[in-house]
Amino acid sequence: MSNESTIDDESLGQPRWRSFLALCKPRVVALICFTAVIGMFMAVPGAVPWPVLVWGNLGIFLAAASAATINQIIDAKADAIMARTQSRPLPQGEIPAHQALLFAGLLGGSGIAMLVFLVNPLTAILTFCSLIGYAVVYTMFLKRATPQNIVIGGIAGAAPPALGWVAVTGSLDAESLLLVIIIFIWTPPHFWALAIARREEYSLAAVPMLPVTHGVEFTRLHILLYTVLLLIVSILPFVFGLSNEIYLIAAVVLGVRFLWWALRLYRGGDDVVAMATFRYSIVYLMLIFSAMLLDHYLL
């Protein structure tokens, strides 16, 4: 392989812009921005002012993309070991690490500046804290320090709805935290289902995910317990008057389906069931937040 500073992207068959785009984890960032948008609309009874909608989401998007890029820079060696991540740009040598770091800095700096000057300073501060929480606290320390890495570090990934809310209102209201709690409790069963299916790869990469350190059966139990808790906390927006009957019905139906997958996995489901549970968890999050938005404007 040629030296990093003289990489020929055409010889690798990958246009340079696609490699940089892959650093941003576009699917993950899209889900983050989706929940941030819902937070914006839930914060007001009518329409979100278009400047906040545009600049707020763009700023949050850029900051999230920066965090994802930093995550890949730090995890490059581990990513090269794991089959799931071997095709990422850094393990493949498509982009030098120093260029990726510069890219992350440009994304994060422009995103935070956008939030400071075009949205409001509180949104910028909270977004920056979320960026540091994921890219530095979680990726550099928690991820390899404890099997509870996902639980402790999950608050950074759960913040986007509150960021969207603050972008509109300029204040961190208690109602916005109800949306944060849902994602916070959703995160462990979501990631642990994937970790069960990929436990050998995590073990090779020396990442102490729960099924690696405590076994699959122990992890299955905790997925089940967190899913039960998720079903309970998902009803809180209705209990506290943030949402109405449409949301309540959707939360119960989607939560029961998630619980069905968790029970199936707990009763001895294999890696195929674990991946199906993981995939459903993504569908669950998208649908429950969509139902929240639908409920907000119909009732």
Report pLDDT digits (tens) over 204-258.
999 999 999 999 999 999 999 999 999 999 999 999 999 999 999 999 999 999 9
Q: Has residue 11 got a pLDDT over 90?
A: no
Report pLDDT digits (tens) over 33-75.
999 999 999 999 999 999 999 999 999 999 999 999 999 999 9
Which residue matches tokens 């409920």? 295
Which pLDDT score, from 0 to 100, does residue 2 have? 37
Sign of CA dihedral 251, 253, 259, 261: negative
Report pLDDT digits (tens) over 158-201.
999 999 999 999 999 999 999 999 999 999 999 999 999 999 99
pTM of the model: 0.92
